[in-house]
Amino acid sequence: MSMLRLSFSGLCTFVFDPPLSKTSSALPKKATVLLQRLTRARALRNESNLKPEVLDQHFPLLEFDLKDWNPESTRMADFHCFPDATGRMTKGVCVLNGEDLKLSLDGRGMKTGALQLSTARPLDPSATALSPADQETLWWMATFGEAFPDRALNPVFRNTVPGSNQPVLARIELTEGRLKTRELTDFTYTMVGAQTSGFSQRVAVSFELEADFGSKVIFEMTANRNGRTATSVLVLTPKDGTSLEIGISNMEIDRFIGLDPAAGPRVEADYEVYADLVTPPLRAGQPLPSLRQAGPGNASGMGVSSCAPWGW
């Protein structure tokens, strides 16, 4: 058997069924991941030095190793990146512009209600070294209830088919495999502007789905653009025969074009874009929740290595 490792990072919303709770014993068995339309830069409500912080363009992307691309695919990469020592590109990237994704393993759909995860509180959340179980729990995920305890996720965004003109540009449903935290911030974060003041912890900035498969992984992609619908498939087969590493993200394009993400400060206020998904809408002028590092910056000058996904 081979192992699929599908990572999620950037401004992604995990919609769990039932909703994610850090205190309930009822664990979700399904998650739908939504990638918002954030392809236009915009001013944020939070200010720094008396000027609004700015959300850079974020693009929904699917990244894979070119060596794993199977000729059965009808979907090609939209661009290649990350050259090796000889100048040959190693990664392919698909831009997810109005695409509904379905994941299948060896040609079969994912099992229903077979998603596994943990929300257990780590034994010591402040510990520098964490056990695998404490590192991987979804307790580290910043959640809807911590930011908007008196509001709900607008079901329109979850249920509307993604399109190039829609607020959600891409969607994928996860019903099988093991979902875990992949990467954490180094420092504790608080949530400012939120309606609750109790949030203070390190935050997950990347998650990973692990699932066993035999020979190939297939993404069926139904694109809705300019009034037309087209379906293509991306088929990936592990060249080494053991594992596939694939990434889905909604983030700045810097690293894909060779820019060091540590070259500039991270705009942590970008977390406020999740307020676009709530109902009833927030009033004009009402503070929007965003993450703020509670301690000093780290050596790279970066608060986090990427934008933080959130869960509901």
Residue by residue, DSSP assigns 147-182 as H-TT-EE-HHHHHSPP-TTSSEEEEEEE-EEEEEEE
Element (H, E) at 145: helix 144-147
Mean pLDDT in order along the chain per 10 residues (312 residues): 96 96 90 97 85 92 98 98 96 98 95 96 93 97 90 94 96 98 91 78 96 97 95 97 96 86 63 93 84 66 66 94
Report residue 33 as tokens. Answer: 């991941």
Residue 197 burial by Cβ neighbours in a 10 Å radius (0-12, 13-18, 19+):
exposed
- Residue 212 is predicted with a pLDDT of 97
Domains of the chain, by residue range, sit at: 2-311
Residue 154 half-sphere exposure toward CB, CA atoms < 13 A = 14
Cα(93)–Cα(82) distance, integer angstroms: 11
- pLDDT, residue 263, reads 53
Read off the pTM.
Answer: 0.94
Residue 102 pLDDT = 98
Q: What is the pLDDT of residue 193?
A: 81
Q: How confident is the model at residue 35, as a pLDDT?
A: 98
